[in-house]
Amino acid sequence: MIIRKIDCLKGEIKVPGDKSISHRAIMLGSLAKGKTIISNFLQADDCLATIKCFKQMGITINNDKVNNIVTVLGNGLHGLNKPSDLLNVGNSGTTIRLMSGILSGQKFTSMITGDDSIQSRPMNRVIKPLLQMNADIKSKNNNGCAPLLINGAPNTMDNRSLEGIKYISPVASAQIKSCVLFAGLYANKATSVLEPEISRNHTELMLQSFGGKVYSDSNTVTVEPNPKLIGQELEVPGDISSAAYFIAAAILLPNSEITIKSLGINPTRDGIIEVCRNMGADIGLDNIRYYGSEMVADITIKHSSIKAIEISGEIIPRLIDEIPIIAVLACFAEGQTVIKDAEELKVKESNRIDEMVNNLSKMGADIVSTDDGMIINGGLALKGTNINSKFDHRIAMSFTIAGLMADGDTIIEGYESVNISYPEFYNDILKLRN
Ligand code: S3P
């Protein structure tokens, strides 16, 4: 894919449904009794992998792609069947980590894995709390990575359940938290997770709306076991992580003004808006409303000149997936942007600190990596070059936006990775291009 400079972005779009919420809607719909109807589902590879896994366990899921409505016929907490085959999550870290918690509570044995990226990402972060809960889970190759072999049997065959625990998570990770909370549904008593900072809370919100009992108290979330979950009707808000690329492009391209309709602005996800505003960007939120418990708004972004800031601490989990595009923004900000406390970026779909620093340097930016982030001195013009996205969707999209601002051609290798979270990404750029 060759990207060239454009003048500005104008108009209105709706970005696709939120990835995190789409995954959870399939999972909870499968564990609930009755029908769950999901509209504005994210029709992208990661979420389609979740559908496939639950279908393999006997759940009836009808995906009406024309109207974008997914219907799940759940059989209740104990209604999954042993999959006849290996469960394969493709590239989706959320699917494998959250499902590990669910599979640990089943009465059958299962094996779950994914693509090369998944097979090199750390799974001990979920294996450790699950073992504490008395689950029988192990890394098949003993390397702390997938494939994971999960024997639901020893704890549940004799109708004993998992052990409810109070888990102190060393990292602020919604994937770890959600895995433990899902396993907690099958435990003998309440299960709590304490995290160093609050991570995205979609699991807690959705579990509650399906009838689960979940309590949050500052950084601790507690779930009661064995709830009666009932199928729901829900609409998925637009994904703020996908919107971030257009927010950045509209800020950077002179004369731009765009509106993104029905965008999820859950306070555990809205760090990108806060950071852009603190950098001086003109962002307006209108028509603030709720889809169930999820806050939604129409947001308007105008071209703005921006200044550098420091980004660290509690905001990091609220914008963890947006740091690559924030690094692009920082190249155009006046002054030095410092990003700290973001070592988690090293274990995403690729090492996102290395990929951003190496590729933005190739484009002529003044950027260096640190142990837990990066430092960027803004103001140097970017020039087009070849970018190997390492098949990481967020690297491909970030460098596409950088390419819209750069002199010469930017060639994105592995641009097809956008299918993981945003298949219409390039079409949406064309829609807004002026
Ligand atoms: C996600 C949580 C985040 C995020 C990922 C989706 C989720 O990961 O990076 O894209 O849906 O729970 P961590 O919670 O591990 O940081």
pLDDT digits 0-9 by tens, 117-167: 999 999 999 999 999 999 999 999 999 999 999 998 655 545 568 999 999
Judge whether residue 285 has pLDDT over 70: yes
Residue type, 339: I
Same domain, 425 and 283: yes
Instruction: Give the pLDDT confidence of 235-254 residue by residue, as tens digits.
Output: 999 999 999 999 999 999 99
Same domain, 138 and 260: no
Same domain, 119 and 190: yes
Judge whether residue 175 has pLDDT over 70: yes
Same domain, 152 and 291: no
- For residue 391, the 8-state DSSP code is T
Instruction: Indicate the helix (H) or strand (E) that contains 301.
Output: strand 294-302
| E-only strand ranges, 142-226 | 148-151, 166-168, 191-194, 214-217, 220-223
Percent of the chain with pLDDT over 90: 97
Please give the biggest Cα pair distance in the chain: 67
The reported pLDDT for the residue numbered 22 is 98
Q: What is the mean pLDDT of residues 344-363?
A: 98
Residue 203 alpha carbon, nearest atom of ligand 1: 12
Q: Which of 45, 89, 94, 349 to mutate to test the pocket of ligand 1 (most atoms within 8 A of CB)?
A: 94
Q: Which of 216, 235, 254 is the last residue of a domain?
A: 235
Beta-strand pair 336-339/310-311: parallel
Same domain, 213 and 246: no
Both tokens assigned to 216: 């949050």
Taking the centre of ligand 1 as the mean of its atom positions, its distance from the CA of residue 154, in whole angstroms, is 30
Q: Which of 318, 320, 325, 397 to mutate to test the pocket of ligand 1 (most atoms within 8 A of CB)?
A: 320
Same domain, 199 and 95: yes
pTM, two decimals, is 0.98
Same domain, 231 and 260: no
Distance of CA 345 to the CA centre of its chain: 12
Same domain, 213 and 292: no
Beta pairing partners, 367: 376
**Which residue in the block uniquely carries the two structure tokens 């709390």?**
129
Q: Which of 212, 235, 258 is the last residue of a domain?
A: 235
Q: Which of 101, 109, 169, 174 is nearest to 131 (CA)?
A: 101
Q: What is the mean pLDDT of residues 398-410?
A: 98
Taking the centre of ligand 1 as the mean of its atom positions, its distance from the CA of residue 159, in whole angstroms, is 32
Cis peptide before 147 (omega within 30 of 0): yes
Query: What is the pLDDT confidence band of residue 229, given thresholds at 50, 70 and 90?
Result: very high
Same domain, 190 and 319: no
Torsion over CA: 336, 311, 341, 18 (sign): negative
Judge whether residue 34 has pLDDT over 90: yes
- The domain in which residue 150 lies consists of 19-235
CATH of the domain at 366: 3.65.10.10
Same domain, 221 and 354: no
Same domain, 166 and 275: no
Q: Which of 179, 210, 235 is the last residue of a domain?
A: 235
Judge whether residue 343 has pLDDT over 60: yes
Q: How many domains does the chain have?
A: 2
Same domain, 187 and 312: no
Both tokens assigned to 387: 């970018």
Q: What is the mean pLDDT of residues 22-47?
A: 98
Ligand 1 contacts (CB < 6 A) are 20, 94, 173-175, 178, 199-200, 320-321, 344
